[in-house]
Chains A and B, each alone.
Chain A
Amino acid sequence: MSHAVALAFDETGLPGECLPHYALIRRWLDETPRAAIELKRREAELLFRRIGITFAVYTEGGGPERLIPFDIIPRVLAPAEWSVLQRGLVQRVKALNAFIRDVYHEREILHAGKIPDALILHNDGFRPEMQGFEPPRGVYAHISGIDMVRVGPADFYVLEDNCRTPSGVSYMLENREATMRLFPDLYSRHRIAPVSHYPEELHDTLRSVAPENCEGEPAIVLLTPGANNSAYYEHSFLADEMGIELVEGADLVVEDNIVYMRTTEGLRRVDVIYRRLDDDYVDPLTFLPDSLLGTPGLFNAYRAGNVTLANAVGAGIADDKSIYPFVPEMIRFYLGETPILANVPTYRCAEPGDLGYVLDHLHELVVKETRGSGGYGMLVGPHASSAERASFAARLKARPNDYIAQPTLALSTCPTFVESGIAPRHVDLRPFVLAGKDIRIVPGGLTRVALRDGSLVVNSSQGGGTKDTWVLESMGDAQPHRR
């Protein structure tokens, strides 16, 4: 076991004891012969290869190696733990939406001097085209994925907000299906909050933000970049589950600022677009002129109030890593509340004082590119060689504005089935928050797990896997269990 893992908080409890909500899982792991667990693991692999084939077929030439590995041991959150997270997430997403609205209208938070003007106005995520425009119900981030990590029994941190086109929810749903099929007995001995209604909640959310001039049942579509996109499976999965059309940019046409889709029966009006396409590609007339993915005129139709885009154009201003340090301030500023969820202490390399500290402490910090995602362009100081640190330091000095740094957190661990048996591995959590008429969260989210011993990077592109995430509704007959 690596040093970092040994120091980390294990979610089943301190060494020698087991927290009540993990008691049944612990007993199951202890009592089930290794061979039987191995059998289940293989069954899971088979099952997932079958479901997995449907994942993989969407990636050209993709074999099973392109699948995101599924770990069979569920991650469990106690009712009390989840209820704090839930309240904190609702609060955070409310503040993020208020912030985006403010940035494109009065900019009160800038006038109040809480956030430097330049950070907003010179930000790539800022879309001047959105100024003065009011989307239905004032909602910008309809679907957010808030990445959480944990370092102690009650210490959750928000690591990152995703307010553009967060993905992964299909894994959350498929993982639950898999555990229910693999471990019906273990599953039924817990009282677990269901997640399978997520597509319905999403559908309701999208319906609730239809344009004001929409009469009757709004026509909702999911706009995908197409079959070559890595998340295409998720797009088709969600469209299918909601019973809405999965469209590509060329399926839509804009006439007189009204959006239509081309059907075999002629043009049909579209009211709400759940778009899984980045701002830049949405409309070649307004944004990237050579984008073939979007629909000419879509943005004007949007601004005219004839169609809703979810998420709103320009919502990315709220999830930029350089804006992240200010989210707790947003909560105080807009809601007048104390933040329930903490941020990870963050050094902004744009500040000379912070930059100096970061350069002196590279060996203990994680440095991230403000625009990077997916675990690329980051340095995990304690795991890097001195040569890697030196070359990163040079990049930092050259473009300090592009970087932030955070202490290396000892991410919590969960028991995970690995080659050597069952071992603790670091995890994070991405709950999905829906904002429409109200704010809704399906309990839990997607747990990602770093499968390599000692690794802190959970991104699937960097060898991460996923786990089913159980939020217990009550402790049921789970009993504390001493080992």
Chain B
Amino acid sequence: MLSRTADSLYWLARYVERAENVARIVLVGHRMASMARSLGASGDEWLSTLIATGCEPGFFAKYSEPDSGAVIDYLVRDPDNVSSVFSCLETARRNARAVRTALTADMWDALNETWLKARDFAAQKMTLDTAPSFLEWVRERSQLFNGAYDSTMLRNDAFYFTRLGTFLERADNTARILDVKYYVLLPQDEGVGGALDYYQWQSILRSVSALRAYHWVYHDRLQPWLIAELLLLRREMPRSLISCYDQITRYLDLIAEAYGGERGECHRLAGEAHARLRYGKIQKIFQLGLHEFLTDFIDRSLLLGGEISNLYLT
């Protein structure tokens, strides 16, 4: 298939997933901020949300203070921000339009309708009150799109590249969501393990729809290292890094097989990252620093994306 077609499918899936994940991160930020307020602590949740989404530099080029209204609008609606939820949906649709014939009708409908409606939503500034319902809706629409392509696309290279996009983006975002916690500093008089700390961890789990899953897997109170283990190393957890990398290596292998067995640097990088997750231990990761592990992981994913692009998409 044309490299451009594969490229568009890959980015289309990435941007749909990114829209969902930015939505999830903003929802966590929102929840943490309200929690902090109700517990009488004024935190820097919105700043941490900006950092976790990688939108901090862009934001401060436009605003001086990370107050809730400005951050929410910037992350959710602002067309100037290429990673805002709305921009992601628009970029996804632009990619879809460029390869219209490579999409199934169901995929196109899911995406096009989302975009049309999102445009209406985005006509007004987002506020603390209007954002959550929009973000919940975006999450649903992204799931609709994922369902549409999973249930209608032919299982060939087009599908493999779409899959790669979804899982590479999802891995990146799970890492970022977990990293939000690193940036949210607890107030001086609030210790680790206090009420606020607890609710922050709970919010993280909620944001990846894993609060119940945690209890099913661990039957324990929320413990930071168990939460990290769930999101990094547990295969049962569909948004964990290892689950995403199971899929990434699988689809990279399928692509290589479809194209006569030739492999490249991207296969090596994916295999390496996969092995680190398969044989990693959470105690070790905490000893070396969770934040350092996550930062390194995000960098490696970036590198992998570049190599996939080099081999197949340009």
Name A's B-contacting residues (CB within 8 A): 53, 57-58, 226-227, 236, 239-240, 245-248, 250-251, 261-265
> Is B101 in contact with A264, judged by CB distance below 8 angstroms?
no
Binds A, one of B2-10, B37-45, B193-201, B211-219: B2-10
Alpha-carbon distance A248/B2, docked complex (angstroms): 10
14 more contacts with CB within 8 A, not counting A57-B108, A227-B100, A248-B4, are A57-B97, A57-B100, A58-B97, A226-B98, A227-B94, A227-B98, A250-B4, A261-B2, A262-B4, A262-B314, A264-B161, A264-B255, A264-B312, A264-B313
> Is A246 in contact with B101, judged by CB distance below 8 angstroms?
yes
Alpha-carbon distance A263/B255, docked complex (angstroms): 13
Cross-chain pairs A/B with CB under 8 angstroms, 22 sampled: A53-B112, A57-B97, A57-B100, A226-B98, A227-B94, A227-B97, A227-B98, A236-B101, A239-B101, A247-B2, A247-B4, A251-B4, A261-B2, A262-B3, A263-B2, A263-B3, A264-B2, A264-B6, A264-B157, A264-B255, A264-B259, A265-B260
Shortest Cβ distance from B98 into A: residue: A227
Alpha-carbon distance A239/B101, docked complex (angstroms): 9
> Is A58 in contact with B100, judged by CB distance below 8 angstroms?
yes
Shortest Cβ distance from A237 into B: residue: B101
Q: Which of B100, B157, B161, B312 interacts with A236 by CB under 8 Å?
A: B100
Residues of A within 8 A of B101 (CB): 236, 239-240, 246
Residues of B within 8 A of A265 (CB): 259-260
Residues of A within 8 A of B98 (CB): 226-227
Contact with A along B92-120 (1 / 0, CB 8 A): 00100110110000001000100000000
Q: Is B288 located at the chain interface by the 8 A CB criterion?
A: no
Determine how close the nearest CB of chain A comes to the CB of B5; give it in whole angstroms: 8
Total chain B interface residues with beta-carbon distance under 8 A: 20
Q: Is B1 located at the chain interface by the 8 A CB criterion?
A: yes
Determine how close the nearest CB of chain B comes to the CB of A238; give it in whole angstroms: 10
Residues of A within 8 A of B112 (CB): 53, 57
Q: Which of B2, B97, B108, B259 interacts with A251 by CB under 8 Å?
A: B2
Alpha-carbon distance A250/B1, docked complex (angstroms): 15
Shortest 9 CB-CB distances between A and B: which pairs? A262-B3, A264-B312, A240-B101, A264-B6, A227-B97, A227-B98, A236-B101, A265-B259, A251-B4
Determine how close the nearest CB of chain A comes to the CB of B103; give it in whole angstroms: 11
Shortest Cβ distance from B109 into A: residue: A53
Residues of A within 8 A of B161 (CB): 264
Alpha-carbon distance A265/B260, docked complex (angstroms): 9
> Is B100 in contact with A251, judged by CB distance below 8 angstroms?
no
Alpha-carbon distance A262/B8, docked complex (angstroms): 14
Alpha-carbon distance A262/B2, docked complex (angstroms): 6
Contact with A along B284-314 (1 / 0, CB 8 A): 0000000000000000000000000000111
Shortest Cβ distance from B313 into A: residue: A264
Alpha-carbon distance A245/B102, docked complex (angstroms): 10
Shortest Cβ distance from A267 into B: residue: B3
Residues of B within 8 A of A57 (CB): 97, 100, 108, 112
Alpha-carbon distance A57/B109, docked complex (angstroms): 11
Determine how close the nearest CB of chain A comes to the CB of B4; give it in whole angstroms: 5
Residue with the greatest number of chain B CB neighbours at <10 A, chosen from A58, A246, A263, A264 = A264
Residues of A within 8 A of B255 (CB): 264
Alpha-carbon distance A53/B313, docked complex (angstroms): 30
Alpha-carbon distance A368/B255, docked complex (angstroms): 56
Residues of B within 8 A of A240 (CB): 101
Alpha-carbon distance A264/B312, docked complex (angstroms): 5
Shortest Cβ distance from A245 into B: residue: B2
Alpha-carbon distance A137/B236, docked complex (angstroms): 64
Alpha-carbon distance A58/B97, docked complex (angstroms): 7
Shortest Cβ distance from B1 into A: residue: A264
Contact with A along B135-175 (1 / 0, CB 8 A): 00000000000000000000001000100000000000000
